[in-house]
Amino acid sequence: MERDAVGIILDRFVEGLFRLMLDHHRAHVVEMDLTVVQAQTLTLLRGEPLPTTRLASSLGISAPAMTQLTDRLVRKRLIERRPADRDRRTVIIELTAQGRHVVDRFRKRRSEVFTEALTRLNDPDREEVIDALSKVVFALEGHSAVQSEEPIRSKHLEKQTAARPAEASKKVGEIATNPPVRRMRIEWD
C-alpha cells in the first residue's frame, strides 16, 4: 500500500475515533457536571495519586489554575488533598471513592462505545482489528525488543502483520514526523 494511502487511512481512523469518543465523552462529562479538564484530571489520577506540580505539568496548566481546578474537584468530593509523607510542602492529589466511581463510569462508557462500533464488523474482521490494535498499543507504549512482554494476540489469528519492535526501530528516520504541537487548555465554570 502506498504511503499516501496509509496516511489517509490512518488520518480517517484517528479522526473518526476521536470524533466518536469526544462526542460521547462530552455528553458524559456534561451529564456528570464536569468540564473536560476536570474529567481528564480524574482520569490521570486513576492510575495513582500525584503531586500537584506533576498533575499541572501533565495537564499543561499553571499552578494557580491547578489550585482552582483542585478546589472545584474537592467541592464536588471527587478528590482529596494531603501533604506528602516526606515533604509536607508538597501536596498530593488522590481520588476519593466517588472520584474512582466517576472514572470507572467513563471507562465503561468508552468501552461500550468502541464495542458498539466493532459490532458493525464481521467476526473475522473484528478479530483482525483487535489483533492489529493490540500491536499498535504495544508499539505506542514504547516496548523494546529487550522486554519480555508481547502484544495481546487474538486467539484466532497467528500471522504476524507488523514488524517486531527491533525491526521497526531500524526504520527510524525513514518516515518524516511532524514536531509536537503545543496545545492550550482552557477551563470554564
DSSP letter string over 92-121? Answer: EEEE-HHHHHHHHHHHHHHHHHHHHHHTTS
CA distance 39 to 55: 13
The pLDDT > 90 percentage for the chain reads 27
Average per-residue pLDDT for the chain? 77
CB proximity list for 189: less than 8 A, separation 6 or greater:
35, 72
pTM: 0.58
pLDDT higher than 90, residue 168: no
Q: pLDDT per residue over 11-54, tens digit each? A: 887 788 777 777 776 776 777 788 888 988 998 999 899 999 99
- Residue 106 is predicted with a pLDDT of 82
Per-residue pLDDT of 109-152, as tens digits, reads: 878 888 888 889 899 998 898 888 888 888 888 764 434 455 55
* Residue 103 reports pLDDT greater than 70: yes
Class assignment of domain 3-120?
mainly alpha
Return the domain boundaries, the chain.
3-120, 122-173
Tell me the residue type at 179: P
Separation CA 177–CA 73 (nearest Å): 37
Instruction: Please report the beta strands in the chain, taking only residues with DSSP state E, as ranges in sequence order.
Output: 50-51, 79-83, 91-95
* Chain-centroid distance, C-alpha 96: 21
